[in-house]
Structure 1
Amino acid sequence: MYNFNCRVVPKNYQHVLALVFAVNELNENPQILPNVTLGFHIHDSYFSERMTYWATLDILSTSYRFVPNYQCDIQKNLMAIIGGLDFETSLHMAAILTGYKIPQLSYGSFAPEDADQSQSTPFYRMVPNEAHQYTGILELLLQFGWTWVGLLTVDSESGEKFMEILQTLLSQRGICLAFSERTPKGTYLEEYYNLLSQWLQAYLIIAESKANTVIVYGEDKSMFYLQLLLAAGEAENVTSLAKVWIMTAQLDFSAVAFRTSQDMQPFHGSICFTVHSNEVQGFKTLLRSLNPFMAGEDGFLQQFWQQTFHCSFPNSIAEFSETCTGQEKLDSLPSSGFEMSMTGHSYSIYNAVYVVAHALHAMFQSWSKDRGIVRRWRPQLQKLQPWQLPPLSQCNKNCPSGTRRKKKEGEKFCCYDCTPCSEGKISYQKGRKH
């Protein structure tokens, strides 16, 4: 989980709960890893290279001592690491884990496959290749005739790659980019204010563009910065952004606790890709049973409760006027605040735990020369349901019958004038080039 000024992000807290749920489920299952108890440690990368390297080395160290490559006292028996919500974090972790040959199961890295990279980094993706999202975005734009669109990507290696590949694909299918902006990348909340001028510049470009559709690509916390971007623009009395936002699966509305319905207003009508998920029996029961006064070893629960329900506990630093009673219900929250169903990333974590467990189970069977059949477990694919929208996002309206497109000098090919067809020729279709 990441935080801003020690804040727990609701969606990422569900990641923790999915991990706990899967581990407990396996430990209570005598058919998998009998007489073996699985455990876990949770570390935070804070979306910082330095903290990612530190956390990775700490995982490899002896318990309660930051001493990598030295074994003493209680051993962790580290078998695998589940991590990497964003691609850069996965790569930073892999740079260290490669030397230890410890597998990393990445539950949120969408970067395209790279032959050289896949051979040098020991991580396994629990999510589909990013190429599927390119196809999905392209087909979506073509379906609705959105040929004049904007692109907003985080200023990172994966963002640059996404922009480069998508621009080529769009151009091949006759779709133009009205603008392509890189959003500044910050690790901590304080950095946002130092980058405010850059955010406002991006806001003005988006607001003044004729493109009514904007593709957004970024890491998980980009949703938070995008919300602040829109709020900052509104505060400066800039034109409101009435756009259709198309967001990649790394972004999620529940990644940030929206305090008011006004915070969600600019995002009505958005289209979000998502990671596949299934209903996991018993998970909602776990969520409904959460009690902040019986948190036990869960050091996140009370923080999560305060920031989700905007209340305070006795003896805590008062942030809210209301007092937490423990009677608050998670299922009373809007999905933008917290989701009761297991999200795609949480489901990937749940699957990753089972992958590790089954791998260990198979290894133990091999050691004991047991030729029994190992039960195979595989998530079932769920068919996506189609849905439709009314908005248009074009530089020009289609030319009516009897006219043809005429290129505008100095403009991209999606912007054109309509001129009558040549004498003796006529077009019965709209938007013809000749």
Structure 2
Amino acid sequence: MVHGVGEFWGKVQADMLDTCWKHLTPFLWLSILLLSKDVECPVCGLREAILPPDYDQKGDVIIGGILLLYSSGNSFLPTFTFRPKPSRSTTLVKPNLRHILAFIFAIDEINRRADILPNITLGCTVYDSCARQWHAVQHTLRLISGPGKIVPNYNCYKESKLAGIVGHKMPSTSIAIASVAGLYRYPQLTYGIQSSVPSDKNKFPSLHHTFPSSNSQYRAVIELLKHFGWTWVGIVSSNDESSQWSNLELQEALSQNGICVEFKYIVKDRRDKYENSRMLQLWEVLASSISKVIILNNNLIFPEFLDKIYVEGKISKVLILPFNFPYGVIPLLLLTLNGSLIFHLHKVAIPGLKDFLLSANPKKYPKLRMLVNLWKYEIASQEIVSKTTKNLGALEQFYFDMENFRETFQVYSTVYSLAHALHEKNSHKTNKSEAKSGLSWRPWKLNYYLKNIHFQTLGGEEVFFNEDRKSVKFDILNFVMWPNRTKQTTKVGYYLQNGDRYGVYINNSAILWDPYFTQTPTSVCSESCRPGYHKVPMEVIHRCCYTCAPCIEGEVTNDTDMERCLRCPEDSWSNAGKDNCVPRPTEFLSFDEVLGVCLLIIALLVFFLNWVVVGVFFRHKNTAVVKANNQNVSFILLLSLSLSFLCSLLFIGRPTKMSCLLRQVIFGVIFTISVSSVLAKTVTVILAFSAIKPNWTFKRWIKRHFSISLLILCSSGQFVICVFWLIFSPPFPEQNTQTEVGKIISQCNEGSVTAFYAVIGYMGCLAVLSFFIAFLARKLPDTFNEAQYITFSMLVFCSVWISFIPAYLSTKGKYMVAVEVFSILASSAGLLGCIFIPKCYIILLRPELNTRSKLVTKRKLKRTAT
């Protein structure tokens, strides 16, 4: 009965210490541990009042070790349909045997060397933490107090001294050790993954790390995710404090790099009646998630949990395993991990360690209790008769990978680090006898030497405890479980950090994914936006979920998953797919296109017609028709019309600086001369009839000078406007990218719009005045009265240019220029046709009417009638 109560109380203590350790101070821990009398290790099954060391070796100076040696699991390699229920008889203790043997190997190697700690023998005392924080605290107190019962603040070592503690692999257990060892400033060297929690030197001043910082580890994971384009992941972690801190840091790092976490599931380190329901809950979370990548951010406390998940059904996910995940300890879990990617320390060489491991047996190390247990279960199960004559070479490499010295090197190097620190400390002592005897022992002084330690192992590897180490290298392994239950771990890449440069280098073709995946898996919340589209965030909490929207005209995306479209340069435009900027086509009224050719032909035809009229008038210059209509002004008008037809050609072709300066000015001056000539002819007709009156004073003066003077006067006003235009705001060529989408319009900027419309307006005023005067004189009696023809020609001229203004303002690009060219040709042709074609008709087809007698006769008849 008493025994039953004691057993019950022991289990209560174990559960209480297991769940509440992180809320207890070291002094409260100490009180509970001193009351503990009979507690069972939940892994190795030992039940003693005082757990003995797993290995003990005498020496002048003791290096303590609290290692992770045991983890429970099933000894059977299962099939897909059969999974035996675990029991004490079928449970195999699978040790991290290499770690404790590497620890012993380092001690023996240092003792044999003459250059490190001469005349001083190193010893060791190694405990197993059983993956429990409260066990680690208990063993730490035993190491500090010495052999026997725990006596706080007393050192019971008689012949040797404790130099420091090596351990632990798990951050949570490292914190528990540091909380006690730090009170006495005993150096503590961890050999496992580093968390930001124990990196605080204010809280843990005597804690040192051989493992790269957590920032390097997170960066390595992020670079791997970015390499494959995985932006939608899940995280499964344990519920210890360091894992939670690690989760926060990992999530922040993922978020800063544009990677979203779909879910975060925390596995509780408890074995109770709710275990099956939590297992089912985790399976449902994994099965319902759309992310194909799961990051296992844990501290080695729930591999069996994932083992049981497999019973519910195969879940095809890519697992990214942390540096300390025990992927080789659970056979069933190996099927779950098929195709996963594992981060591990860079593989190094430890000369002589492999032969040392293969030669180990209970006869050689009878005090190594775990080696004795291993022989008891493994060698016996393999029906080997002589248990003590065999060695580890007879065991299956599945459990004891003798070629893998990654974590093993961390244990090896921590022992060497303490030895080098002791050597440096003793080298600074003046009294050699004190150095040999270890008098005035001050182990906390080793922290100073450890902080600056830097040495090279026999294998050529550098070891130092610089938190800001500049060079980090991790191997990336691909774990494969073949159908015949054999495993293969292949290096498929590595992560390299050198200073501020870092990245992953992966051979994609070397990776064997889970058979469920027919190609490299993708893990995104939304499908990638192809070039030409950009991401539009959805109204959800994750920015990794989005829709794809096409870019607008003039903007492109030339890569996948771009968050915004890029504006094309001014001289470029987006192509049809919106994925590239192409040069904009330049548009202007060219001689190579149909519209330009048509206008050129029309201009040349009317120019040729104009010179035909000039030739007719010149040949018949002495006839009555030519003389009766102000011969000099007629030739000036014909010459200006000829130039106006040619000036239209300045508007066709690529605009240049010279063409832009000349075309509007020449057009304005020439057209003003034409209109002024028409005005002069009109006024001359009216004054001619006035001159018939007797004794009119200005008769002779008007006949000789008036028409030319009027022409010069009217043209001078336009000339002055054009001079001011060219001086103060001249036209210039420009590339217009705003008027038409996707085109560059090569055009002439008129400089001053006011000056341009002033030129047009001035011509318009002269034309209206000519029309008004000609309209009044249209019925004057004369055989060759031009007033009627001038009236009609000015009506055509004004109609063309009144229509020009809205047409010019409503068109763009080359069509705007074409409108102006057409207006020039139409108005000039109207003047030519309406004024001179009727006269050519009389000269060429009715020569009988082109006589002075006919002119005089008709004048007399009209005077008689009036």
Give the TM bin, normalised by the shorter chain. Answer: 0.7 to 0.9
After superposition, give the CA deviation of every residue in 1:313-363 in whole Å (9 maximum; x if it has no partner): xxxxxxx5845655576487355x222135333211111111111222222
Q: Does 1:377 align with 2:460?
A: no
- Aligned partner of 1:235 in structure 2 is 311
Q: Which amino acid aligns with 2:243?
A: G
Q: Return the alpha-carbon distance in structure 2 between the equivalents of residues 109 and 429 of structure 1.
A: 37
Q: Which amino acid aligns with 1:28?
A: R
Change (3 A) 1:324 1:345: farther
Larger Rg: 2
Aligned-pair identity in percent equals 28
Deviation at 1:135, TM superposition (A): 0.8
Q: What number of residue pairs does the alignment pair up?
A: 406
Q: Return the alpha-carbon distance in structure 1 between the equivalents of residues 383 and 272 of structure 2.
A: 29
Q: Does 1:209 align with 2:289?
A: yes
Match of 1:418 among 541, 548, 560: 548
Deviation at 1:272, TM superposition (A): 1.6
Q: Does 1:247 align with 2:321?
A: yes
- Please, what is the CA RMSD of the aligned residues? 3.0
Unaligned runs of 5+ in 1: 313-319
Query: 8 Å contact 2:528–2:560 — kept in the other structure?
Result: yes
- Aligned partner of 1:80 in structure 2 is 164
- Aligned partner of 2:341 in structure 1 is 271
Q: Does 1:387 align with 2:506?
A: yes
Deviation at 1:127, TM superposition (A): 1.3
Q: Which amino acid aligns with 1:106?
A: T
Match of 1:303 among 363, 373, 393: 373
Q: Return the alpha-carbon distance in structure 2 between the equivalents of residues 93 and 26 of structure 1.
A: 25
Q: Does 1:101 align with 2:185?
A: yes
- Aligned partner of 2:265 in structure 1 is 181
Q: Return the alpha-carbon distance in structure 2 between the equivalents of residues 32 and 424 of structure 1.
A: 72
- Aligned partner of 1:316 in structure 2 is none
Q: Which amino acid aligns with 1:13?
A: L
With a CA cutoff of 8 Å and minimum separation of 6, indicate the structure with the bigger relative contact order: 1
- Aligned partner of 1:348 in structure 2 is 410
- Aligned partner of 1:27 in structure 2 is 111
Query: 8 Å contact 1:151–1:216 — kept in the other structure?
Result: yes
Deviation at 1:84, TM superposition (A): 1.6
Query: 8 Å contact 1:105–1:123 — kept in the other structure?
Result: yes
- SS of equivalent residue, structure 1 residue 65: coil
- Aligned partner of 1:9 in structure 2 is 94
Q: Which amino acid aligns with 1:391?
A: P
Deviation at 1:406, TM superposition (A): 4.0
- SS of equivalent residue, structure 1 residue 300: helix
- SS of equivalent residue, structure 1 residue 417: strand
After superposition, give the CA deviation of every residue in 1:162-197 in whole Å (9 maximum; x if it has no partner): 2212222222222111111111124xxxx2664332
Q: Return the alpha-carbon distance in structure 2 between the equivalents of residues 41 and 47 of structure 1.
A: 18
- SS of equivalent residue, structure 2 residue 213: coil
Q: Return the alpha-carbon distance in structure 1 between the equivalents of residues 273 and 121 of structure 2.
A: 46
Unaligned runs of 5+ in 2: 1-68, 73-87, 433-452, 463-470, 476-493, 495-504, 509-519, 565-866
Q: Return the alpha-carbon distance in structure 2 between the equivalents of residues 73 and 141 of structure 1.
A: 52
- Aligned partner of 1:161 in structure 2 is 245
Q: Which amino acid aligns with 1:388?
A: N
Change (3 A) 1:51 1:141: same
- Aligned partner of 1:68 in structure 2 is 152
Q: Which amino acid aligns with 2:152?
A: P
Query: 8 Å contact 2:97–2:400 — kept in the other structure?
Result: no
- Aligned partner of 1:130 in structure 2 is 214
- Aligned partner of 2:527 in structure 1 is 397
Query: 8 Å contact 1:330–1:338 — kept in the other structure?
Result: no
- Aligned partner of 2:634 in structure 1 is none
Q: Return the alpha-carbon distance in structure 1 between the equivalents of residues 400 and 210 of structure 2.
A: 23
Q: Return the alpha-carbon distance in structure 2 between the equivalents of residues 422 and 53 of structure 1.
A: 65
- SS of equivalent residue, structure 2 residue 265: strand
Change (3 A) 1:25 1:417: same
Q: Which amino acid aligns with 2:311?
A: A
Query: 8 Å contact 1:145–1:392 — kept in the other structure?
Result: yes
Q: Which amino acid aligns with 1:285?
A: D
Deviation at 1:199, TM superposition (A): 2.8
Q: Which amino acid aligns with 1:405?
A: K
Q: Which has the higher strand share?
A: 2
Deviation at 1:113, TM superposition (A): 6.3
Deviation at 1:217, TM superposition (A): 1.0
- Aligned partner of 1:288 in structure 2 is 358
**Counterpart mapping for 1:31-42 below 5 A:** 31-42=115-126
Q: Does 1:431 align with 2:550?
A: no
After superposition, give the CA deviation of every residue in 1:273-299 in whole Å (9 maximum; x if it has no partner): 223442111101012212345542221
Deviation at 1:144, TM superposition (A): 0.9
Q: TM-score, normalised by structure 1?
A: 0.83
Query: 8 Å contact 1:13–1:304 — kept in the other structure?
Result: no
* Higher mean displacement: 114-123 or 86-95: 114-123
Match of 1:359 among 406, 417, 421: 421
- Aligned partner of 1:333 in structure 2 is 396
Q: Does 1:43 align with 2:127?
A: yes
Change (3 A) 1:382 1:103: closer
Change (3 A) 1:183 1:79: same
Deviation at 1:306, TM superposition (A): 5.2
Q: Return the alpha-carbon distance in structure 2 between the equivalents of residues 176 and 404 of structure 1.
A: 18
